[in-house]
Amino acid sequence: MHLFCGAPGSTNTNPPVVLGHEFVGDVIEVGSQVPGLKCGDLVTIDPNISCGQCWYCRMGEPNLCTNLTAVGVNFDGGFAEYCVVPSSQVYHFKTKVPYHHAAMAEPVACCLHGIDRIGLREGQTVAVVGSGAIGLIMVQLALLGGASQVFASDPIERRRKIAEQVGAVPVNPTQIDLSSFVRTRYPQGVDVAIECAGNPIAMQEAIESVRRGGTVMLFSVPNVDAVLQLQPYQLFQRELKILGSFTNPNTQGRAVDLILSKRIQLEPLITHRLPLESIKEAFQLFGNPDAIKIIVEMSARA
């Protein structure tokens, strides 16, 4: 959506390019030098292509590659009937899974990297600020990672209901701020707060919700010119850890396995499935309070 809206500083794409970096499809042709894939395989794509040669790549941080490019950003992507991708970016679903679930592999992979960065420990408490698709994935990954309690804050009732469905305690920030709510149960605050809303107010809520010594993950993609007002003394006196997370380094395969395991609920997150011919309508649904995850597909599939 950031690419479609042309948010300044959000990407280095140069139109015209076919967008779509979260996608799945059937293999219809395989290059002569490609092992392990065959026509008919259901595959998902890791869109992010690192150079393998820069300092960051050689230090094992390919997501920070200074020459990073991406399918659907720099090269034609998934919003088309056919897409050519390097075999290195292809991950095979080895058993049957619904197409619209498989299409969620890339966002799940990004969330897995965020959870890895946090270093969540069994029994810790977590607050998730923003219960869109990413927030709802984060709720589930935190629970799978051993969180004893997860709170999920969102002003939209439908999202709170789904958050509760996938295991969180829902919080309505229009009635009580998240920090006050969590402290009714954990007076010191939660161990971890994950911000998934994309605005400085939500970021501040996350910071205020954690205990002294807590961890704050700023996971969303905010506007490039957004500014967070932060008192450095808080970091010192409360000994806070504030982290960022960028893309999905080496987590796409884990996302595929997690989806295949059916240990993460994806169906409740998908509120709309539209044909490719209605892609304009799909983009117009962004910002609609009834929309969470919108899937664009060639045709309705099981």
Digitized pLDDT (tens) for each residue of the chain, 302 residues in all: 455 555 544 456 777 999 999 999 999 999 999 999 999 999 999 999 999 999 999 999 999 999 999 999 999 999 999 999 999 999 999 999 999 999 999 999 999 999 999 999 999 999 999 999 999 999 999 999 999 999 999 999 999 999 999 999 999 999 999 999 999 999 999 999 999 999 999 999 999 999 999 999 999 999 999 999 999 999 999 999 999 999 999 999 999 999 999 999 999 999 999 999 999 999 999 889 999 999 999 864 44
- What's the pTM? 0.94
Domain 2-107+249-297 and domain 111-244 have a common topology = no
The strand pair at 210-218 and 241-244 is best described as parallel
Q: Name the CATH architecture for the domain at 2-107+249-297.
A: Alpha-Beta Complex (3.90)
Distance CA 116, CA 245 (A): 9
The strand pair at 293-297 and 270-275 is best described as parallel
Residue 62 backbone phi and psi in degrees, to 5: -65, -25
In order of 15, 65, 97, 191, the CA distances from 7 in angstroms are 14, 22, 34, 33
Ordered by start, the domain boundaries in the chain are: 2-107+249-297, 111-244
Confidence at residue 268, expressed as pLDDT on a 0 to 100 scale: 98
Those residues whose C-beta lies under 8 Å from the C-beta of residue 119, and which sit 6 or more positions away, are: 215
Confidence at residue 9, expressed as pLDDT on a 0 to 100 scale: 47
54 burial via Cβ count (<10 Å: 0-12, 13-18, 19+) = middle
Do the beta carbons of residue 200 and residue 224 sit within 8 Å? no
DSSP string, 191-246: EEEEE-S-SHHHHHHHHHHEEEEEEEEE-S---TT------HHHHHHHT-EEEE--
Within a 13 Å sphere around the CA of 297, how many CA atoms are in the beta-carbon half?
Answer: 21
Structure tokens at 120: 């969540």
189: left (phi over 0), alpha (psi -120 to 50) or beta: left
Residue 284 backbone phi and psi in degrees, to 5: -70, -20
Assigned CATH for 111-244: 3.40.50.720
